[in-house]
Structure 1
Amino acid sequence: MAIFYRNSGLGRSVTRTKPRSKRPQYAIHASADSTQRLGRATSPLSVNSNDEKEKNSLDFTQRIEKKLTEYNTSDNVFKRWLFELVSLFVSAACMITIIWIYIRIKDQPLSQYNPFLTWINVLGKVSSAALIVPTSEALGQLKWNWFHNSRAMWDFEIFDKASRGPLGALMLLYRTKGRSLAALGAVLIVLMLAIDTFFQQVVDLPGRWTLNDSPGLLPRTIRYEPTIVNSTVGGVLFVADDKDMFLVVSKFQYGNGTQPVPFGNASRPDIPITCPTSNCTWPVYDTLAVCSKCQDFSEYLEFACMTQRVDWTSSLNGGFMVEDDYPNATMCGYFLNATSENPVLMSGYIVDPATSARGEALLMRNFPLSRLWTYDPFFGNGSVYFKELRNTLLDAVTVSAADGTAASVYRNETPIALECVLTWCVKSIKSSYNSGEYEEEVLETFFNTTAGPFPYESVIFSDGTDVTYGEDINIDIGLSLSGRNISGYGTSNESILPISAGFTDMFPSFTLAMNESDIPKLRYFTWELGPARNQILGFNPWLAPNNVTRHMERFATAMTNVVRSVGGKGEMVAGDAWKMETFVSVQWAWLTFPLLLLILSFVFLILTMMKTSDKGSIGVWKTSAMPTLIYSLPKETQGQFTKSSTFNSTKATKKVRIKLSPNLGWRVSGASHLSTSPQLPRPVVQAPRGWI
């Protein structure tokens, strides 16, 4: 078998003769200049009859690599960098697609566009991966240009690592001091580590409230129509209490009223509401309600000491006594109508005329401005400060010791006096419900101020009194200042007495103490035949320092909730139910970094193409390892690095400089006498399969 190496300018011409063997012969024909320049690939093979089998024997990856080599060795500079340009185009296309998707899903519900975010993540990965290809390939090509001049041997390893990862890129950046085109590629390799983070920061997913399909509902009442069952005794009709309203009235008369029931993060609403999303708002609506007002009454009280009938002491054993049957006693304190024929002690104490000793003290008095049982009004129409209000449920004066103690009564301190009223009204309300907390804001309040006669009428019999309420309650204001029609609100006259009858238990009533150290006792149910009731209250809402005005406001609100909750003519008010939904928010500023990397990568690739446009000077090897296999160091130089002591010696290897010559291969500094490094020969006979 004969193997011929022709002189191509890079090696020697050698002719050797060996005995022929029976092994089949293969011929390899290369182009005339296949070994003249580094990186020039051979021309298409001239094959014999077995060439087709040889071609088919190559696997898929080998055929791809062969095709890429043909492109890399093309005379057209754009064709040599076609794969890198396509990678840049793919990266740019992915970014443009991502921007288009962001524009489409911006400020849209995530539930409708959730798959798009998945595609954005995929496109972001593809874009960043495609962006690395041209940068690393261009950086690898600059390695061969770097060694076109005499360079330190360690630079080869640094360049090789720089094209494969950020650590080598940092080393290359330090090595070049930023004064080489390769430094730009090293910077890009490092910055590309963060590109995925910036893609992820572009999208924010804030929660926003959106309208739910099902609305929130709450009740409002136009006409209050409770179900009341009256009873008869001996054929005489007795008024029965309004069961629903009486429960509320009794709680506020003898204590701190109804208390909110904890529910979730807040308290349960006192009216039946429906809110399917736990966040509902309602438009302004009008409803029949109960309102309260209080006014300072102290100007009608006057301090005096006088002997008068006593209707409040605990020594009275008989209830519902005729005024003439009350005992007389000397009293000092604050009187209502002190200069009239029938002054009433509102806060004071009994004095022993003989010894001037102070006896039992009156700490608090609830005084209704209508006579018990007959409902005859005092002060003309049963009111002092609220004469304009019609259809009131309660109008009474509450007088309390200054600090709620007998000591302040004995010191003759001015008591706290208030006239308070509970009356029918119409409220304009704006409501909201959020996470279990229901809130109401009263915007306007409307009262019936129509003049008319006192509505209560009574007829006294030998064994009782027949009381009637002579008119229905109607609140007809017409158009309000806000443009809403306030008409048709109210209740029937039959519903008034069952409510007002419940107030007679507490109005009138008294709070008494025998001395300063005695525990105050409430004396109430004075309308009963027989002794009145006495009770020590855990919380006396009418006695200072408790706020009576605030207590009456809560009292009226609780009664309003009953009016809106029980049966009556009304309707459910529909409101907006808001549900929390995740939306897509795009922060465009985070895209600046990926787009900047795309532009810099394109600039870096173009500059590299321009610098390596002369293919014949070095060759377009890029990141290929083929030159290191074909153009290895001369054998004489390889021997210097076979010993570990020499290779690991920083002093010895740091000074070794190498240079890649297109015609002579690798040249080593300080060894010009050495033979050239092995070159790619031009064979005339094709080697067997698997051999070069």
Structure 2
Amino acid sequence: MAELVSPVTPNPIQWQEEYIYCLVCLAAAAALVVLLSTFNGRLEPSWGDNIQLGTVLIAIMSVYRLALKAIVEACVGQGAWIWVSGFRKGKTEAKLEDFKMFDEASRGLYGALVLLWRMKASHFACVGSLITILILGFETFSSQMVTYTEVPIVFAGKASLDTHPAPAPPRSETWHNIASNGFGEKSLMLSTKAAVYNGIIASDIVPNIPVSCETANCGWPVFPSLAVCGACTESLFNTSCDSQKGCSYTMPSGTSVYDQAGVPSEHHFTVAPSNGSSTFPNENFKAVISLFDIMSSAKTPRDNTIQAYQCGLWFCLRSYNVTVTNGVVNRSVVAEWSKSDFVPRSSAHYDEYVFSDIPPRMNAKQHARYSIPSDSLRTLREFMDKLMLGNALQVTDSVIYDTDWIQAMDTATKDLSSLSGWVSRLALSLTNDIQLTGIVRSNRNSDYGGTAYIMAPRVEVNWYWVAYPVTLMVFAFLEPFTPFLRTVQKDSLISAVPTPAPSCIPLRDTMLFCHVSKTIHTQVGDGMDVPEGLNYRVGRTEIELVRKDNGEWIFTEPRYH
């Protein structure tokens, strides 16, 4: 019978490997915190062609996880050693199959769960099992420590580009898109005619003029440009009726519509150029492109609806804010100005209308001159007046239109309350053409050169996720001291307690150097020839680990029950 010897006081200095693992953990944790603190809120760094911040973080966390797992494995192994050697008098607890449970608990999820269930959280090795379970979530949670937000950064440009990688958008300081036929007559260029036709007929106009942005993300300062503004205002009209002929409705400018007596249902629509009235346009609308009246009479058996509007188009000055985000152009009007003065011809310029008293919010550069030559304005107005003249008449189901343009206007303005939308589309179509075909005086476009951006990832650290591995490290560091506290407790163990097992040898290999009593060995029989036979024969055998006089350790059945 083996005899027990005096207890051996445990010496923490024996755990040199664990200290090395702890130092590796501390170094990895320090590197992690320093790295994240350095680049938090900054652009993602790149070292070489393929090494990114994420790659470095993965490497650090891999070293961290492996070192932490090594500490936990050693601690769970020590727990198994103490669980068997810490046999209490009169109470049988340890069994041979417990070695398997501790070994699996140090290496996998299932074993860790079994240990927690068997020990009911009463053994210090349960902390190691819990850490083993939580370590499995490192890959998931470590990916949440850092997120990346795409932010624009200034694009430095290429050697082939101008000073500004984003040239100024199309804009116009003056407009003279007319040509002479050689007989002293002037006419609009084809692009402007097309813009007028398109504005009258089309149901939708592209609002954004294409801009040059090589990187798909650009921004420009607010810039002014010639544009076309438009509006409609409701007008008064006089009514004159005759029992034989019907009723006539006349605006102050002379534009009129009528409904015939004895006709139960009809629609009369008319458009005519005018010179405006005392209320429209106001005095700031000097560079007027077109003024015209629109009237309609919709007669039904029940009632007769008359609508009368004065409409106008004029040159104005608009300031725009243009950006490009992910290749999508965003264009908005910041301010608008219509006041202009007529300036007679001089040696420097033709008769023209010059915008004056431009407010600072328009961001017009000092000494910039925005003007429209009078011959350009006159030619455009004459062309518009020819189109804004005609009638549409509908009696029963038959509709007669004087021109295609009248048909388009009648169709677009069936409900004259939507007239402003149609006028806005016409003004936008003309604006696009004027800004594309207009003239910018030399060296003025560079004043509104933009900045090109590229999207780059910015590092955003979620520090609450960093607390996850750090907390596990703290618990893992505290766990190795628990065996030493357990081994020095008074009256908690039998008279001899073994020194904690040397951690340099794995738990399953350490058991190879322990003997087994003949009684237990005899119970094995042919159990090694049968699957799970060894566990079936002796796995549930209660054991006690004792040390003989010669220093050998032996598993034997407990002496106290």
| TM-score band w.r.t. shorter chain | 0.7 to 0.9
- Check if 1:504 corresponds to 2:389: no
In 1, distance between residues paired with 2:559 and 2:537? 14
Query: Displacement, 1:480?
Result: 4.5
Q: What is the TM-score with the length of structure 2 in the denominator?
A: 0.80
Query: Displacement, 1:435?
Result: 4.6
Conserved 8 A contact 1:424-1:490: no
Aligned residue number for residue 562 of structure 1:
433
- Check if 1:660 corresponds to 2:545: yes
Aligned residue number for residue 322 of structure 1:
none
Conserved 8 A contact 1:281-1:432: yes
In 2, distance between residues paired with 1:401 and 1:361? 8
In 1, distance between residues paired with 2:535 and 2:78? 27
Conserved 8 A contact 2:119-2:126: yes
% identical aligned pairs? 18
Query: Displacement, 1:535?
Result: 8.4
Aligned residue number for residue 552 of structure 1:
423
One of 379, 391, 395 as aligned partner of 2:287:
391
In 2, distance between residues paired with 1:566 and 1:483? 22
Map 1:339-350; keep pairs closer than 5 Å. 344=254, 346-350=256-260
Instruction: Report the residue type matching 1:659 in the other structure.
Output: E
- Check if 1:231 corresponds to 2:182: yes
Change (3 A) 1:301 1:412: farther
Q: SS of the counterpart of 1:385?
A: coil
Change (3 A) 1:472 1:188: closer
C-alpha offsets along residues 430-454 of structure 1, whole Å, 9 cap, x if unaligned?
223345543432232222365999x
Aligned residue number for residue 64 of structure 2:
127
Query: Displacement, 1:559?
Result: 1.2
Q: SS of the counterpart of 2:136?
A: helix
Q: SS of the counterpart of 1:414?
A: strand
Conserved 8 A contact 2:224-2:317: yes
Instruction: Report the residue type matching 1:82 in the other structure.
Output: Q
Aligned residue number for residue 322 of structure 2:
431
Query: Displacement, 1:565?
Result: 0.5
Aligned residue number for residue 413 of structure 1:
304
Query: Displacement, 1:101?
Result: 1.0
Q: SS of the counterpart of 2:173?
A: strand
| Uncovered stretches (5+) of structure 1, i.e. residues with no partner | 1-8, 12-34, 40-74, 261-266, 308-329, 338-342, 352-356, 371-377, 456-469, 525-533, 673-692
Aligned residue number for residue 523 of structure 1:
402
Instruction: Report the residue type matching 1:365 in the other structure.
Output: T
Conserved 8 A contact 1:217-1:275: no
Conserved 8 A contact 1:227-1:567: no
One of 215, 220, 227 as aligned partner of 1:289:
227
Instruction: Report the residue type matching 1:393 in the other structure.
Output: I
Aligned residue number for residue 593 of structure 1:
468
Conserved 8 A contact 1:296-1:419: yes
In 2, distance between residues paired with 1:428 and 1:100? 48
Query: Displacement, 1:589?
Result: 0.7
Aligned residue number for residue 278 of structure 1:
216
Conserved 8 A contact 2:321-2:333: yes
- Check if 1:118 corresponds to 2:55: yes
- Check if 1:248 corresponds to 2:186: no
Query: Displacement, 1:582?
Result: 1.7
Conserved 8 A contact 2:7-2:498: yes
In 2, distance between residues paired with 1:10 and 1:387? 118
C-alpha offsets along residues 321-367 of structure 1, whole Å, 9 cap, x if unaligned?
xxxxxxxxx45221235xxxxx956111355xxxxx54996711212
Aligned residue number for residue 685 of structure 1:
none
C-alpha offsets along residues 56-111 of structure 1, whole Å, 9 cap, x if unaligned?
xxxxxxxxxxxxxxxxxxx9924311111111111111111111111122222235
Query: Displacement, 1:174?
Result: 2.2
Change (3 A) 1:128 1:275: same
In 1, distance between residues paired with 2:279 and 2:343? 16
In 2, distance between residues paired with 1:222 and 1:471? 16
Change (3 A) 1:137 1:484: same
In 1, distance between residues paired with 2:405 and 2:356? 43
C-alpha offsets along residues 276-299 of structure 1, whole Å, 9 cap, x if unaligned?
2333333322112221121101x2
Query: Displacement, 1:632?
Result: 2.2
Conserved 8 A contact 1:660-1:666: yes
Aligned residue number for residue 31 of structure 1:
none
Query: Displacement, 1:134?
Result: 2.4
Query: Displacement, 1:671?
Result: 8.1
- Check if 1:145 corresponds to 2:89: no
Instruction: Report the residue type matching 1:523 in the other structure.
Output: D
Conserved 8 A contact 2:227-2:315: yes
Conserved 8 A contact 1:288-1:424: yes
- Check if 1:332 corresponds to 2:262: no
Change (3 A) 1:306 1:218: farther
C-alpha offsets along residues 493-518 of structure 1, whole Å, 9 cap, x if unaligned?
221222112123223211123x2221
Q: SS of the counterpart of 1:415?
A: strand
Change (3 A) 1:303 1:119: same
Q: SS of the counterpart of 2:38?
A: helix
Change (3 A) 1:582 1:626: closer
Change (3 A) 1:274 1:111: farther
Aligned residue number for residue 160 of structure 2:
none
One of 525, 531, 538 as aligned partner of 1:642:
525
In 1, distance between residues paired with 2:474 and 2:546? 34
Conserved 8 A contact 1:348-1:363: yes
Conserved 8 A contact 1:347-1:362: no
In 1, distance between residues paired with 2:409 and 2:255? 24
The higher radius of gyration belongs to 1
Query: Displacement, 1:152?
Result: 2.6
In 2, distance between residues paired with 1:536 and 1:419? 16
In 2, distance between residues paired with 1:242 and 1:627? 97
Conserved 8 A contact 1:333-1:345: no
CA RMSD of aligned residues (A): 3.9
Aligned residue number for residue 492 of structure 2:
none
Q: What is the TM-score with the length of structure 1 in the denominator?
A: 0.66
C-alpha offsets along residues 29-51 of structure 1, whole Å, 9 cap, x if unaligned?
xxxxxx98999xxxxxxxxxxxx
Aligned residue number for residue 631 of structure 1:
514
Aligned residue number for residue 474 of structure 1:
354
- Check if 1:90 corresponds to 2:28: no
Aligned residue number for residue 169 of structure 2:
218
Aligned residue number for residue 146 of structure 2:
203
Instruction: Report the residue type matching 2:202 in the other structure.
Output: N
Conserved 8 A contact 1:288-1:425: yes
In 1, distance between residues paired with 2:147 and 2:437? 48
C-alpha offsets along residues 198-255 of structure 1, whole Å, 9 cap, x if unaligned?
22221112222333332353022112132522331xxxx32323433222223334x2
